[in-house]
Structure 1
């Protein structure tokens, strides 16, 4: 998930990969189990509490394709 999160919060393919800050155009606040940034100088994620982690887990489970 760290790699997917890193890629999905970066710029378009072919551009220099850098996080898009929440206050920038098309930016958003990332969330995580902790508030530690992925790399020095990057915007830190919002640390989720137990309920927040459960919401993310449940939303992922609901969105995941189910085998037929």
Structure 2
């Protein structure tokens, strides 16, 4: 089975784009350098894949201090 985007010669990435709560993004595909959302079929937040991400822990701490 071939990727239809590869066959059509479209600029895309096979990795998953991970969006952190501080809007920093990273890709699961080694070597990916273009983190535009439209290049990635799969886009998730860090909370969806790992509840212990440093950015979500920071938000919980900020919320606790504000209360």
- With normalisation by structure 2, the TM-score equals 0.24
Q: Which has the higher contact order (CA 8 A, sep 6+)?
A: 2
Whichever of the two has the greater Rg, that structure is 2
More helix by percentage: 2
Write 1 or 2 for the structure with the bigger share of strand: 2
